Amino acid sequence: MTVLAYGLITGVIFGFLLQKGRVLRYDVQLGALRLLDMTIVKFMLTTIVVAMIGVYLLKDLGYVKLSVKNTLLGANILGGLIFGLGWGLLGYCPGTSGGALGEGRWDAVWGMFGMLVGAGVYAETYPWISKTVLTWGDYGKITLPQLFGLNHWIVIAVIAAASIAVFFQLEKKNL
Amino acid sequence: MKITRDGGWSPYLAGALAGLLLIASAWVSGKFVGASTTYVRSAGMLESLFSPERVKSLDYFVKEAPVIDWQWMFVIGIIIGSFISAITSGSFRTQALPDMWRERFGPSRVKRGAAALAGGVVAMYGARLADG
């Protein structure tokens, strides 16, 4: 029960912040895909940089364990391409469609129905997918520090610096 | 072209606070956020109403069992949190057609509904294939 309560509380705060950041609406999501408005890129990159620093700090102190997913090149690339196609049509993503509904954009309901169907279709095709696509380019649970053979704080510093450089460019170009 | 922001917070501020939330979540409950697995579990729950045998026979529903877990509650929480923020800041607005969509594709709600539905199917298939 405690686990479920934590999930709900975390979700409420996250949804609150997504709405405050104005990243939920179709116009902003399509704005990013059309390279007209980079609000969601600013939000996501800031979240990633902050969380990356904090989570690795806690990991070094022994308070958290990372949950690394397998790198499956075939599935990651193909899935990413397919996801992008659907995202461009829907204009909401799996995490934000509920949030969009919460602020009154009820066309998100159609997207949520579609996503339930998509999940069901994936389950139907999974036996075949797991024997084919999911075996292409399996590199296991690798991280960037492992890949480059560098201390994780060097990788974090480079990503943080690159993100800040991106933010300056976006602000300069008023995106 | 910037889309109107109607009094929201800076995306850097909201994003940084979201980052702190993710750190707290990893620390307190050992959970990392996600959303698309919830659609798999929910699809399994709905399918179980009609053909429980089919659901039990599919490996993917064995792997991602149709139960309510941390992430499922997280996704429900997003709806509630967004609603609270929108209502308390006066930015709640019921809208069936996004402005940008209407400008480009016209006032048909059926057209928008069909695109959103199809987009949802495709996006979720891709998300599950890429594993999140």
pLDDT band at B1 (very low <50, low <70, confident <90, very high): very low
Q: Is residue B18 part of a domain?
A: no
pLDDT at B55: 96
Those residues with Cβ within 8 angstroms of residue A62's Cβ, 6 or more apart along the chain or in another chain: none
Interface check for A171 against chain B (CB to CB < 8 A): the answer is no
What total number of domains does chain A contain?
Answer: 1
Q: What mean pLDDT is predicted for residues B73-90? A: 97
Does residue B27 lie in a domain region?
no
The string of pLDDT tens digits covering residues B28-74 is 999 999 999 999 999 999 999 999 999 999 999 999 999 999 999 99
Q: Could you tell me which chain A residue has the CA closest to the CA of B5?
A: A22
Enter the pTM of the model. 0.95
> Is residue B74 domain-shared with residue B103, that is, in the same domain?
no
> Is B28 a domain residue?
no
| Domain that includes residue B101, residue range | 97-132
Does residue B75 share a domain with residue B47? yes
B63 with B111, same domain: the answer is no
DSSP conformation letters of A127-140 = HHHHHTGGGTTEEE
Note whether B116 and B68 are same-domain residues: no
Triad A74, A76, A81: Cα angle to 5° = 95
Q: Are residues B89 and B106 in the same domain?
A: no
**Position A140, amino acid:** G
Is B123 at the interface with chain A, CB within 8 A? yes
Provide the domain limits for residue A54.
2-172
Tell me, what's the pLDDT at A60? 98
Residue B103 lies in a domain: yes
Quick one: pLDDT band at residue B132, thresholds 50, 70, 90? Answer: confident
Chain A interface disruption, residue of B82, B84, B95, B117, most A CBs within 10 A: B82
pLDDT, average across residues B16-31:
97
| B104 plus B90 within the same structural domain | no
Q: How far is CA B61 from CA A95, A123, B18, B47, in A?
A: 20, 7, 31, 10
Rounded CA-CA distance B127/B122 in Å is 9
Do B123 and B106 lie in a common domain? yes
d(CA A56, CA A68): 13
Residue B59 lies in a domain: yes
User: Is B19 a domain residue?
Assistant: no
Query: Is B108 found in the same domain as B78?
Result: no
Greatest extent of chain B over all pairs of C-alpha atoms, in Å: 53
Please tell me whether residues B104 and B56 are part of one structural domain. Answer: no
In the stretch 21-80 of chain A, residues with CB closer than 8 A to chain B read 21-28, 30-31, 36-37, 39-40, 42-51, 54-55, 58, 63-65, 67, 69-70, 72, 75-76, 78-80
- The answer to whether residues B82 and B44 belong to one domain is yes
Q: Does residue B60 sit within a domain?
A: yes
Q: State whether residue A83 sits within 8 Å of chain B by CB.
A: yes
For chain A, 175 residues long, give each residue's pLDDT as a single digit of tens.
899 999 999 999 999 999 999 999 999 999 999 999 999 999 999 999 999 999 999 999 999 999 999 999 999 999 999 999 999 999 999 999 999 999 999 999 999 999 999 999 999 999 999 999 999 999 999 999 999 999 999 999 999 999 999 999 999 999 9
Assess if residue B125 is contained within a domain.
yes
Q: How many domains does chain B have?
A: 2
Q: What's the pLDDT tens digit per position in A91-141?
A: 999 999 999 999 999 999 999 999 999 999 999 999 999 999 999 999 999
